[in-house]
Amino acid sequence: ENVVNRIAAGEIVQRPANALKELIENSLDAHATNIIITVKAGGLKYLQIQDNGTGIRSDSLDIVCERFTTSKLREYEDLQAINTYGFRGEALASISHIAHLTILTKTQHDKCAYKASYENGKLKGPVKACAGNNGTQITVEDLFFNVIARKKALRSPNEEYTHIMEVVGGYAIHNSHVGFHLKKFGENTDIKTPIKSSVVENVRIIHGNSIARELLEIELTDPTLKLSLHGYVTNVNYSHKKGTMLLFINHRLVDSLSIRKAVDSVYATYLPKNAHSFVYLSLELDPRNVDVNVHPTKHEVQFLYEEQIIDRIKTVIENKLLSCNS
Ligand code: ADP
Ligand code: MG
């Protein structure tokens, strides 16, 4: 049974950045305002996330890593109106099958913190009382230690770290009310955003002033399509090797090939060939129209009225670029 679970977990968590994304979403669900991430060897050796959120009640610590354990879904109907990131109860379970997982947590009602280690979805040893701050610290060590195939498929720690930077940078920009802090163990900070910052300020911190000062704000609401869009685009060819597109749908960092293609086609028309773009789109759709239940390996998100919605997005970006190029 563990082998099957391990294979499944190795498919859900394909690289350290996938695990980190789930952990960041958990911290955001727990209303954290400050999130500190520490990494060794691209997250393969060590990945730690510390938040100042609600913490986990000590009496749930024995089950949090079991599959389908979630505090976020009460009834099936909730699936239609999910407003937290997590709902599957699969992230911690998956990670515990393919890594050494330790949770240190304290709620504001507890006098002390509690520490627990997990293996294959289950507690490994007793829960121990210890010192700690309010919030949750999750440490993932030796990711994929028992998944040889996955380990072989991964590239270098440096490349994994690049993916981690993308995820942290994306969530920091999108959640500018939360402070994010990313560093390699024992080294200098790579990303540090303040609590109560702004999207533009965080773009400046993460991507540099040359991009931040070119940002053009875009906005769109369409009640018929149950769509609202807020974002920033640039009208310049900046010097990154490739363009950056950050797409959030209902506050989840996702990918959509069709949206990506549409945005690329706009830039191909309005900017010189090979121009590189920075695009940040935060799309809010009726949760009933978005397929959040796709298998986690599919980063591709699916939603209804795709063609019409993409048309509206293209138009709003086109108009913005036209208005400042004329
Ligand atoms: P899901 O997020 O889908 O509920 P997870 O496996 O990601 O499932 O997490 C399981 C449960 O553990 C969550 O429902 C939540 O109750 C608890 N939890 C996980 N991470 C945190 C955190 N950082 N702060 C508070 N609670 C957490
Ligand atoms: Mg979760």
Read off the DSSP letter of residue 47: E
Listed residue (303, 302, 248) closest to 279, CA to CA? 248
Structure tokens at 238: 């900046």
218 φ/ψ angles, rounded to the nearest 5 degrees:
-125, 150
- Kindly report the CA angle at 220 between 215 and 221, in degrees rounded to 5? 155
- Ligand 1 pocket, residue 70 CB under 6 Å: yes
- Per-residue pLDDT, 243: 77
Phi, psi of 316 (to 5 degrees): -65, -35
Higher pLDDT, 40 or 261: 40
Nearest ligand 1 atom to alpha carbon 90: 6
Task: Give the residue-averaged pLDDT of 263-289.
Answer: 83
**Could you give the C-alpha distances from 256 to 39, 70, 239, 283, in angstroms and in order?**
28, 27, 24, 12
Answer whether 69 contacts ligand 1 (Cβ < 6 A): yes
Distance CA 202, CA 142 (A): 31
Q: Is the pLDDT of residue 51 over 90?
A: yes
Q: Is 24 in the pocket of ligand 1 (CB under 6 A)?
A: no
104 φ, ψ (degrees, to nearest 5)? -125, 120
In this predicted model, what pLDDT tens digit does every residue of 136-190 receive, in sequence order?
999 999 999 998 877 777 779 999 999 999 999 999 999 999 999 999 999 999 9
> Which of ligand 1's atoms lies nearest the C-alpha of 54?
25
* 56 touches ligand 1 (CB under 6 Å): yes
Residue 281 beta carbon below 6 angstroms from any ligand 1 atom? no
CA quadruple 150, 120, 90, 282: dihedral sign: negative
Strand, helix or coil for residue 180: strand
Q: How far is the CA of 298 from the centre of ligand 1 (A)?
A: 21
Query: How far is Cα 48 from Cα 137, in angstroms, rounded to an integer?
Result: 7
Convert the pLDDT of each residue in 277-298 to its tens digit. Answer: 799 999 999 888 887 555 555 5
Q: pLDDT confidence of 324, banded at 50, 70, 90?
A: confident
Considering only CA atoms, which of 249, 244, 250 is closest in space to residue 264?
A: 244
Question: What is the CATH T-level fold of the domain 2-192, as seen in this structure?
Answer: Heat Shock Protein 90 (3.30.565)
Q: Ligand 1 pocket test: which of 24, 25, 50, 71 has the largest number of ligand atoms within 8 Å of its C-beta?
A: 71
Mean pLDDT of the residues in the chain: 88
One of 2.60.40.1180, 3.60.20.10, 3.20.20.140, 3.30.230.10 is the CATH number of 210-325, namely: 3.30.230.10
**d(C-alpha 301, C-alpha 321), whole Å:** 26
**Is the C-beta atom of 71 inside 6 A of ligand 1?**
yes
Q: Tokens standing for 101?
A: 């997982």
ipTM: 0.99
316 Cα–ligand 2 center, Å: 33
Any atom of ligand 1 within 6 Å of the Cβ of 136: yes
- Residues that place a CB less than 5 A from ion ligand 2: 26, 86, 91
- Which of 51-55, 72-76, 202-206, 254-258 is predicted least confidently? 72-76
Contacts of residue 42, defined as CB under 8 A and 6 or more positions apart, other chains included, come to 16, 156, 157, 158, 159, 160, 161, 164
Count of all residues that appear for the chain in the document: 326
Atom 21 (ligand 1) nearest CA:
26
Residue nearest to atom 26 of ligand 1 (CA): 56
Q: What are the Cα distances from residue 249, in Å, to 68, 72, 287? A: 23, 19, 9
What is the pTM (predicted TM-score) of this model?
0.92
**Is the CB of residue 91 below 6 angstroms from any atom belonging to ligand 1?**
yes
For the chain, the C-alpha Rg in angstroms (whole number) is 20
CA distance 259 to 106: 41
| Closest atom of ligand 1 relative to the 89 alpha carbon | 8
CA distance 34 to 26: 13
Longest CA–CA span in the chain (Å) reads 68
Over residues 310-318, mean pLDDT: 96
Centroid of ligand 1 to alpha carbon of 82 (angstroms): 15
pLDDT mean over 15-25: 94
Q: Is 175 in the pocket of ligand 1 (CB under 6 A)?
A: no
Ligand 1 atom closest to the Cα of residue 71 is: 14
Structure confidence at residue 43 (pLDDT): 97
Per-residue confidence at 6, pLDDT binned at 50, 70, 90? confident
CATH 3.30.230.10 residue spans of the chain: 210-325
**Which H/E stretch holds residue 205?**
helix 199-207
| Lowest mean pLDDT, pick from 36-50, 107-121, 170-184, 222-236 | 222-236
Q: Is 88 in the pocket of ligand 1 (CB under 6 A)?
A: yes
Tokens of 322: 């036209």
Residue-wise DSSP of 108-165: TT-SSEEEEEEETTEE-S--EEE---SEEEEEEESTTTT-HHHHHH---HHHHHHHHH
**Which pLDDT tens digit goes with each residue over 65-96?**
888 777 765 554 555 555 444 446 788 999 99
Q: Which residues contact 261 (CB under 8 A, 6 or more apart)?
A: none
Average pLDDT over residues 226-237: 89
The residues of the chain that CATH labels 3.30.565.10 are 2-192
Residues paired with residue 181 on neighbouring β-strands, in sequence order: 36, 192
